Structure 1
Amino acid sequence: MIAQMLLKSKEKSTYKEDTAGEKPIRSVAKALSWRVVGTLDTLVVSYFLTGKIAVAASIASVDFITKLILYFFHERVWNAIKWGK
């Protein structure tokens, strides 16, 4: 059912490939949403390993910032690569 809706939607649209790729703000939104998921995972794993919520929160906080920045640049580099588009 969902696949049929997607196919019909694609047939109706006059989709033109965006040659510029994603805008940076989209990369930021994707990075933030993914980091929330990743940080919760890091928080749980850190707490499980240390048994201390303060240490786990510290680890998760640093992890959130560093990986958010890394993911943003990773997305921008991949956006510039023409392979697979």
Structure 2
Amino acid sequence: MIADQLILDKKSTKSNYKEDKKSEKPIRSIAKAISWRVIGTLDTLLVSYLFTGKVVLAASIASIDFVTKMFLYFFHERIWNRIGWGK
């Protein structure tokens, strides 16, 4: 009975990021996604150029990589933000 109340109280206090001081707002996740993707895209550009020797092809690969992985990172962050493990 006491354990149930503790669990219910804990769940009700962590309903969303506004109430949870350890959570991040979505705008922070977006900023992190963009900054990380710039670094990752530069890496992809360099590696693609080293493998292909063609700047245009490397830039095409890096451009697609930038867009797709930014969205994946954002949703990855939001999902992990809901997980209480390790907080």
TM-score w.r.t. the length of structure 2 is: 0.76
Q: Which residue of 1 aligns with 2:30?
A: 28
CA offsets 1:2-52 (integer angstroms, 9 cap, x no match): xxxxxxxxxxxxxxx715x10000000000000000000000000000000
2:81 counterpart of 1:79? yes
2:43 counterpart of 1:46? no
CA offsets 1:45-84 (integer angstroms, 9 cap, x no match): 0000000000000000000000000000000000000111
Q: Which residue of 2 aligns with 1:18?
A: 21
Q: Which residue of 1 aligns with 2:3?
A: none
Structure 1, unaligned stretches of length 5 or more?
Answer: 1-16
Larger Rg: 2
For 2:70 and 2:43, locate their aligned partners in 1 and report how far apart those are by CA, in whole Å: 14
Percent of paired sites with the same residue: 71
Could you list the structure 1 runs, at least 4 aligned residues long, displaced by more than 2 angstroms after superposition: none
Structure 2, unaligned stretches of length 5 or more?
Answer: 1-19
For 1:22 and 1:44, locate their aligned partners in 2 and report how far apart those are by CA, in whole Å: 32
1:71 partner amino acid:
Y
For 1:81 and 1:29, locate their aligned partners in 2 and report how far apart those are by CA, in whole Å: 20
